Copies of this chain bind each other. A is one copy, B any other.
Amino acid sequence: MRMIKVGVLGASGKMGAQTCLAVQDAADCELVAQLGRGDDLAELTKAGAQVAVDLTRPEAVMTNLQWCIENGIHAVVGTTGWDEERLATLRSWLDAAPGVGVLIAPNFSIGAMLMMQFAAKAARFYESVEIIELHHPDKVDAPSGTARRTAELVAAARQEAGSVPIPDSTTDELDGARGAQIEGIRVHGVRLRGLIAHQEVLFGNEGEMLTIRHDSMSRVSFMAGVLLGVRRIVDTPGLTVGLEHFMDLS
């Protein structure tokens, strides 16, 4: 079995600690470095890391990635907040480092990826679609980022297919009853003690419905996605944005 030497950046955070455990448990991975804030990135090269998993923050990640790419270390990145400018900078660094791969994966949940991909594929076959996301009541934003992303994917698929507008005869609405709109898709956010992170995408035609639901209960569930990223990035030079590209779904 091929062994992959992995270093974790942001190893003392919750996701970082979980990732260290997951790498240690994986039969084909070896945890060679755990770096926290202030630690020297050179520990990665000293330890012979082939892949760095970056679970730090948007303000630290670019410095980390530049160093990794220059030193020929592949990276799997879980931070959010990527825009075109940052991605362009990354691409330019990667152009200068043939053979090095970087995966940007703002969502490591394989189940959430499947839900979104399936929703996008189902979209053009249905007249109606709505999204319900359900989370614990300590969440500050509504709707969730996953719901927003799902709505965008569904809306794009409908537009590409030339779908007619979603039927809705509501004329007498109590403010907010029909949810928020994201690119024409209605999204409802439920907040309930006892929930963790859940989402349903409901599709409907005359006489039939299709529902895709994902329930995410713990950080552990992201580890399959992190390891998938680690295993695939060593053979995928250049920039990959989105874990779905490593899932061979089509």
Interface residues of A (CB under 8 A from B): 109-111, 114-115, 118, 121-122, 125-130, 132, 134, 137-143, 166-182, 186-195, 202-221, 224, 247, 249-250
Give the distance in Å from the alpha carbon of A210 to the alpha carbon of B194 in the complex: 10
Contact B213 A208 (CB under 8 A): no
Q: Is B118 touching A212 in the complex (CB atoms < 8 A)? A: yes
- Which DSSP category, helix, strand, loop or mixed, fits chain A's interface? mixed
Cβ contact within 8 Å between A210 and B176? no
Q: Known: A175-B176, A177-B142. Contact between A221 and B206, CB under 8 A?
A: yes
Known: A182-B174, A214-B210. A191 touches B128 (CB 8 A): yes
Question: Could you say how many copies of this chain the assembly holds?
Answer: 4
Known: A132-B188, A190-B130, A194-B209. A137 touches B168 (CB 8 A): yes
A-B CB contact pairs (8 Å), 22 listed: A121-B249, A127-B193, A128-B192, A128-B194, A130-B191, A138-B169, A139-B170, A140-B170, A141-B170, A142-B170, A143-B174, A143-B177, A174-B180, A174-B182, A175-B180, A176-B178, A176-B181, A179-B189, A194-B208, A210-B214, A211-B211, A211-B213
